[in-house]
Amino acid sequence: MTVETGGLVEQSKNNITTTVKHVNNRVRYGNKMEKKNRSYKKMRREVVFPRVPDVLQQLFVSCTQIFRGPGFVPPASDVNKLCDILDKMKPEDVGLSKNLLFFKPTGAAVNGTPRVTYTTIYRCDHCAFSFFRKTAVIPLHNHPEMTVFSKLLLGKMHIKSYDWVEPKDSIPPSKLRLARLKANSVYTAPCNTSVLYPTTGGNIHQFTAVTPCAVLDVLGPPYSKEDDRDCSYYKDFPYSAFSNEGETTRVSEEEREGLGWLEEIEAPENAVMDRIDYLGPQIVETTD
Protein backbone atom coordinates (compact mmCIF):
# COMPACT_ATOMS: atom_id res chain seq x y z
CA MET A 1 0.00 0.00 0.00
CA THR A 2 1.33 3.44 -0.89
CA VAL A 3 0.45 7.03 -0.19
CA GLU A 4 0.57 9.67 -2.88
CA THR A 5 0.95 13.35 -2.08
CA GLY A 6 -2.51 14.69 -1.32
CA GLY A 7 -4.09 11.36 -2.15
CA LEU A 8 -4.91 7.82 -1.16
CA VAL A 9 -4.33 4.55 -2.95
CA GLU A 10 -6.16 1.29 -2.36
CA GLN A 11 -4.16 -1.93 -2.06
CA SER A 12 -3.55 -3.49 -5.47
CA LYS A 13 -5.04 -6.79 -6.57
CA ASN A 14 -3.95 -8.57 -9.74
CA ASN A 15 -2.06 -5.47 -10.87
CA ILE A 16 -5.25 -3.38 -10.72
CA THR A 17 -5.36 -0.45 -8.32
CA THR A 18 -8.26 1.79 -7.41
CA THR A 19 -7.22 5.31 -6.50
CA VAL A 20 -8.86 8.13 -4.63
CA LYS A 21 -7.10 11.47 -4.75
CA HIS A 22 -7.67 14.89 -3.26
CA VAL A 23 -6.82 17.16 -6.18
CA ASN A 24 -8.23 20.69 -6.27
CA ASN A 25 -10.88 19.71 -3.72
CA ARG A 26 -11.92 16.68 -5.70
CA VAL A 27 -12.06 12.99 -4.94
CA ARG A 28 -11.19 10.91 -7.97
CA TYR A 29 -12.46 7.39 -8.35
CA GLY A 30 -11.47 4.97 -11.07
CA ASN A 31 -9.44 1.99 -12.16
CA LYS A 32 -5.95 1.98 -13.61
CA MET A 33 -4.62 -1.15 -15.32
CA GLU A 34 -0.89 -1.65 -15.32
CA LYS A 35 1.12 -4.42 -16.96
CA LYS A 36 4.68 -4.76 -18.17
CA ASN A 37 5.64 -5.41 -21.77
CA ARG A 38 8.94 -6.80 -22.94
CA SER A 39 10.60 -3.40 -22.61
CA TYR A 40 9.24 -3.16 -19.06
CA LYS A 41 7.28 -0.02 -19.91
CA LYS A 42 3.93 0.37 -18.17
CA MET A 43 0.74 0.72 -20.13
CA ARG A 44 -2.22 2.35 -18.42
CA ARG A 45 -5.90 2.33 -19.17
CA GLU A 46 -7.79 5.62 -18.99
CA VAL A 47 -9.85 6.25 -15.85
CA VAL A 48 -13.40 4.97 -16.29
CA PHE A 49 -16.16 5.98 -13.91
CA PRO A 50 -18.22 3.02 -12.69
CA ARG A 51 -21.87 2.69 -13.62
CA VAL A 52 -24.36 3.72 -10.98
CA PRO A 53 -25.24 0.82 -8.66
CA ASP A 54 -28.92 -0.14 -8.74
CA VAL A 55 -29.34 0.58 -5.02
CA LEU A 56 -27.95 4.14 -5.36
CA GLN A 57 -30.20 4.88 -8.32
CA GLN A 58 -33.15 3.41 -6.42
CA LEU A 59 -32.38 5.71 -3.47
CA PHE A 60 -32.39 8.75 -5.76
CA VAL A 61 -35.71 7.86 -7.41
CA SER A 62 -37.39 7.08 -4.08
CA CYS A 63 -36.23 10.35 -2.46
CA THR A 64 -37.59 12.45 -5.33
CA GLN A 65 -40.94 10.71 -4.93
CA ILE A 66 -41.15 10.82 -1.13
CA PHE A 67 -39.95 14.19 0.16
CA ARG A 68 -42.39 17.11 0.07
CA GLY A 69 -40.58 20.05 1.69
CA PRO A 70 -39.94 21.64 5.12
CA GLY A 71 -41.67 20.01 8.08
CA PHE A 72 -43.07 17.16 5.97
CA VAL A 73 -42.75 13.80 7.71
CA PRO A 74 -42.93 10.84 5.32
CA PRO A 75 -45.52 8.21 6.26
CA ALA A 76 -44.29 5.04 7.94
CA SER A 77 -44.47 3.06 4.70
CA ASP A 78 -42.12 5.51 2.96
CA VAL A 79 -39.78 5.65 5.95
CA ASN A 80 -39.54 1.86 5.87
CA LYS A 81 -38.95 1.95 2.12
CA LEU A 82 -35.98 4.30 2.42
CA CYS A 83 -34.58 2.39 5.39
CA ASP A 84 -34.77 -0.86 3.40
CA ILE A 85 -32.81 0.74 0.56
CA LEU A 86 -30.19 2.31 2.82
CA ASP A 87 -29.77 -0.88 4.85
CA LYS A 88 -28.65 -2.62 1.65
CA MET A 89 -26.08 0.00 0.73
CA LYS A 90 -22.36 -0.75 0.94
CA PRO A 91 -19.33 1.55 0.78
CA GLU A 92 -18.67 0.42 -2.80
CA ASP A 93 -22.04 1.85 -3.88
CA VAL A 94 -20.61 5.35 -3.44
CA GLY A 95 -17.10 4.51 -4.60
CA LEU A 96 -15.47 3.70 -1.26
CA SER A 97 -13.61 0.72 0.16
CA LYS A 98 -12.60 -0.18 3.70
CA ASN A 99 -9.13 -0.93 2.29
CA LEU A 100 -8.49 2.75 1.58
CA LEU A 101 -5.65 4.07 3.70
CA PHE A 102 -7.90 7.00 4.60
CA PHE A 103 -10.05 4.68 6.74
CA LYS A 104 -7.22 2.78 8.43
CA PRO A 105 -6.17 3.68 12.00
CA THR A 106 -2.55 3.26 10.95
CA GLY A 107 -2.86 5.78 8.16
CA ALA A 108 -0.81 8.93 7.81
CA ALA A 109 -0.91 11.22 10.85
CA VAL A 110 -2.98 14.38 10.71
CA ASN A 111 -1.63 17.59 12.19
CA GLY A 112 -3.93 19.23 14.72
CA THR A 113 -7.57 18.31 15.31
CA PRO A 114 -8.96 15.90 12.67
CA ARG A 115 -11.56 17.53 10.43
CA VAL A 116 -14.63 16.09 8.82
CA THR A 117 -14.62 15.84 5.04
CA TYR A 118 -17.92 15.67 3.16
CA THR A 119 -19.16 15.52 -0.37
CA THR A 120 -22.64 15.91 -1.87
CA ILE A 121 -23.78 13.05 -4.06
CA TYR A 122 -26.84 14.84 -5.39
CA ARG A 123 -28.07 18.10 -3.89
CA CYS A 124 -31.58 17.98 -5.26
CA ASP A 125 -31.94 14.52 -3.78
CA HIS A 126 -31.06 15.85 -0.32
CA CYS A 127 -28.12 13.46 -0.09
CA ALA A 128 -24.84 14.28 1.62
CA PHE A 129 -21.98 11.85 2.09
CA SER A 130 -19.52 12.49 4.94
CA PHE A 131 -16.08 11.10 5.68
CA PHE A 132 -14.71 10.99 9.23
CA ARG A 133 -11.11 10.65 10.38
CA LYS A 134 -10.35 9.05 13.73
CA THR A 135 -11.59 11.21 16.67
CA ALA A 136 -13.26 13.69 14.32
CA VAL A 137 -16.51 15.17 15.68
CA ILE A 138 -19.63 16.81 14.27
CA PRO A 139 -20.72 18.84 17.33
CA LEU A 140 -24.22 18.78 18.83
CA HIS A 141 -26.49 20.39 16.23
CA ASN A 142 -30.14 20.46 15.14
CA HIS A 143 -32.11 19.72 11.96
CA PRO A 144 -34.93 22.30 11.70
CA GLU A 145 -38.08 21.04 9.91
CA MET A 146 -36.08 18.11 8.55
CA THR A 147 -36.35 14.33 8.38
CA VAL A 148 -32.89 12.75 8.23
CA PHE A 149 -31.80 9.20 7.43
CA SER A 150 -28.24 8.26 8.47
CA LYS A 151 -26.48 5.09 7.32
CA LEU A 152 -23.11 4.19 8.83
CA LEU A 153 -21.18 2.59 5.96
CA LEU A 154 -17.76 2.13 7.51
CA GLY A 155 -16.18 2.16 10.94
CA LYS A 156 -17.41 2.78 14.46
CA MET A 157 -19.20 5.91 15.66
CA HIS A 158 -20.63 7.27 18.91
CA ILE A 159 -24.00 9.01 18.54
CA LYS A 160 -25.51 11.22 21.22
CA SER A 161 -28.92 12.78 20.57
CA TYR A 162 -31.69 14.79 22.27
CA ASP A 163 -35.26 15.96 21.69
CA TRP A 164 -36.78 19.06 23.30
CA VAL A 165 -39.06 18.35 26.26
CA GLU A 166 -41.41 21.26 25.50
CA PRO A 167 -42.20 23.31 22.37
CA LYS A 168 -40.01 26.40 22.14
CA ASP A 169 -42.97 28.83 22.22
CA SER A 170 -44.07 27.54 25.64
CA ILE A 171 -40.73 28.16 27.38
CA PRO A 172 -39.82 31.47 29.09
CA PRO A 173 -36.72 33.23 27.71
CA SER A 174 -33.61 31.44 28.98
CA LYS A 175 -30.17 30.46 27.80
CA LEU A 176 -30.96 26.90 28.81
CA ARG A 177 -33.64 24.58 27.51
CA LEU A 178 -34.70 21.20 28.82
CA ALA A 179 -34.09 18.21 26.52
CA ARG A 180 -34.53 14.46 26.77
CA LEU A 181 -31.66 12.14 25.90
CA LYS A 182 -32.66 9.77 23.08
CA ALA A 183 -29.39 8.01 22.25
CA ASN A 184 -25.94 7.74 23.77
CA SER A 185 -24.32 4.67 22.21
CA VAL A 186 -21.57 3.43 19.94
CA TYR A 187 -22.60 1.98 16.56
CA THR A 188 -20.49 -0.29 14.36
CA ALA A 189 -20.96 -0.80 10.62
CA PRO A 190 -22.81 -2.58 9.21
CA CYS A 191 -25.85 -1.52 11.23
CA ASN A 192 -29.42 -0.43 10.59
CA THR A 193 -30.27 3.04 9.32
CA SER A 194 -31.24 5.60 11.97
CA VAL A 195 -34.00 8.17 11.39
CA LEU A 196 -34.71 11.49 13.06
CA TYR A 197 -37.77 13.70 12.57
CA PRO A 198 -38.51 17.45 12.93
CA THR A 199 -39.49 17.10 16.62
CA THR A 200 -38.69 13.48 17.56
CA GLY A 201 -36.15 10.72 17.08
CA GLY A 202 -33.14 12.68 18.38
CA ASN A 203 -33.35 15.79 16.16
CA ILE A 204 -30.36 17.33 17.98
CA HIS A 205 -27.39 15.01 17.70
CA GLN A 206 -23.61 14.71 17.81
CA PHE A 207 -21.41 12.31 15.82
CA THR A 208 -18.01 11.26 17.19
CA ALA A 209 -15.83 8.95 15.12
CA VAL A 210 -14.45 6.23 17.41
CA THR A 211 -12.53 4.88 14.40
CA PRO A 212 -12.23 6.33 10.89
CA CYS A 213 -15.71 5.99 9.45
CA ALA A 214 -18.10 7.08 6.74
CA VAL A 215 -21.77 8.03 6.94
CA LEU A 216 -24.34 8.54 4.21
CA ASP A 217 -26.97 11.14 5.14
CA VAL A 218 -30.26 11.70 3.34
CA LEU A 219 -31.78 15.05 4.33
CA GLY A 220 -35.31 16.10 3.48
CA PRO A 221 -35.14 19.01 2.94
CA PRO A 222 -31.49 20.13 3.11
CA TYR A 223 -30.22 23.04 5.21
CA SER A 224 -30.98 26.47 3.75
CA LYS A 225 -30.14 29.86 5.28
CA GLU A 226 -32.44 31.54 2.75
CA ASP A 227 -35.38 29.47 3.99
CA ASP A 228 -34.51 29.94 7.68
CA ARG A 229 -33.28 26.35 8.06
CA ASP A 230 -29.77 27.11 9.21
CA CYS A 231 -27.92 24.81 11.59
CA SER A 232 -27.74 25.71 15.30
CA TYR A 233 -25.16 24.31 17.74
CA TYR A 234 -25.51 23.42 21.41
CA LYS A 235 -23.61 22.56 24.56
CA ASP A 236 -25.21 20.04 26.91
CA PHE A 237 -25.19 19.94 30.73
CA PRO A 238 -26.45 17.33 33.20
CA TYR A 239 -29.94 17.96 34.57
CA SER A 240 -28.51 18.27 38.09
CA ALA A 241 -26.28 21.19 37.07
CA PHE A 242 -29.27 23.58 36.74
CA SER A 243 -32.11 21.74 38.42
CA ASN A 244 -34.15 24.87 39.22
CA GLU A 245 -33.51 27.04 36.19
CA GLY A 246 -35.93 27.18 33.26
CA GLU A 247 -37.87 24.11 34.37
CA THR A 248 -41.50 24.22 33.22
CA THR A 249 -42.70 20.81 34.37
CA ARG A 250 -42.24 18.75 37.49
CA VAL A 251 -40.33 15.55 36.84
CA SER A 252 -39.63 12.51 38.97
CA GLU A 253 -36.18 11.39 40.05
CA GLU A 254 -36.35 8.54 37.56
CA GLU A 255 -37.22 10.86 34.68
CA ARG A 256 -34.35 13.20 35.53
CA GLU A 257 -31.84 10.49 34.64
CA GLY A 258 -32.75 10.95 30.99
CA LEU A 259 -32.87 14.75 30.98
CA GLY A 260 -30.28 17.42 30.25
CA TRP A 261 -29.98 21.15 29.62
CA LEU A 262 -28.96 22.47 26.21
CA GLU A 263 -27.49 25.92 25.63
CA GLU A 264 -27.30 27.34 22.11
CA ILE A 265 -23.77 28.45 21.25
CA GLU A 266 -21.84 29.92 18.36
CA ALA A 267 -20.55 27.42 15.82
CA PRO A 268 -17.51 25.74 17.45
CA GLU A 269 -14.20 25.47 15.63
CA ASN A 270 -14.63 21.75 15.00
CA ALA A 271 -17.92 22.46 13.20
CA VAL A 272 -15.94 23.53 10.13
CA MET A 273 -15.91 20.77 7.50
CA ASP A 274 -13.88 20.37 4.32
CA ARG A 275 -15.96 19.96 1.17
CA ILE A 276 -14.75 17.93 -1.81
CA ASP A 277 -16.44 17.21 -5.12
CA TYR A 278 -18.10 13.85 -5.55
CA LEU A 279 -16.74 11.82 -8.46
CA GLY A 280 -18.02 8.39 -7.53
CA PRO A 281 -20.80 6.50 -9.35
CA GLN A 282 -23.01 9.14 -10.92
CA ILE A 283 -26.78 9.18 -10.40
CA VAL A 284 -28.83 9.21 -13.59
CA GLU A 285 -31.46 11.94 -13.51
CA THR A 286 -34.84 10.77 -14.76
CA THR A 287 -37.86 12.71 -16.01
CA ASP A 288 -40.45 10.26 -14.65
Q: What is the CATH number of the domain that holds 61?
A: 2.60.120.10
In a domain, 5, yes or no: no
Report how far residue 97's alpha carbon sits from residue 112's, in angstroms, rounded to the nearest whole number. 25
Q: What is the pLDDT of residue 135?
A: 66
Identify whether the C-beta of residue 262 lies closer than 8 Å to the C-beta of residue 204: yes
**Helix/strand/coil for 249:** coil
In a domain, 216, yes or no: yes
Q: Residue 21 to residues 45, 115, 157, 281: CA-CA distances in angstroms?
A: 17, 17, 24, 15
**Helix/strand/coil for 64:** helix
In a domain, 79, yes or no: yes
What's the domain range around 269?
54-101+114-244+251-275
Q: What is the pLDDT of residue 29?
A: 39
Report how far residue 141's alpha carbon sits from residue 231's, in angstroms, rounded to the nearest whole number. 7
In a domain, 37, yes or no: no
Mention every residue, 6+ apart, whose C-beta is less than 8 A from residue 263.
175, 176, 177, 234, 235, 236, 237
In a domain, 179, yes or no: yes
CA angle 190, 81, 147 (to 5 degrees): 85
Q: What is the pLDDT of residue 32?
A: 37
Q: What is the pLDDT of residue 34?
A: 36
In a domain, 6, yes or no: no
Q: What is the pLDDT of residue 276?
A: 79
Instruction: State the total domains in the chain.
Output: 1
Q: What is the pLDDT of residue 179?
A: 94
Using CA atoms in the order 251, 257, 263, 266, what is the torsion angle rounded to 10 degrees? -160
Q: What is the pLDDT of residue 235?
A: 96
Q: Residue 217 to residues 39, 84, 195: CA-CA distances in angstroms?
A: 49, 14, 10
**Helix/strand/coil for 252:** coil
Q: What is the pLDDT of residue 147?
A: 94
In a domain, 195, yes or no: yes
Q: In what order do the strands lie in the sheet with 7-9?
A: 7-9, 16-21, 30-36, 42-44
Q: Closest by alpha carbon to 185, among 163, 208, 201?
A: 208
Report how far residue 281's alpha carbon sits from residue 182's, in angstroms, rounded to the nearest whole number. 35
Q: What is the pLDDT of residue 85?
A: 96
pLDDT tens per residue across span 27-60 = 443 333 334 444 444 444 555 556 788 999 999 8
pLDDT in tens, the chain (288 residues): 221 222 222 333 333 333 333 333 444 433 333 344 444 444 445 555 567 889 999 998 999 889 988 888 999 999 999 999 999 999 989 888 777 666 665 544 445 567 788 888 877 645 556 666 666 889 999 999 999 999 999 999 999 999 999 877 677 777 899 999 999 999 999 999 999 999 999 999 999 999 888 899 999 988 888 888 899 999 999 988 876 544 545 566 667 778 999 999 999 988 888 887 787 888 887 655
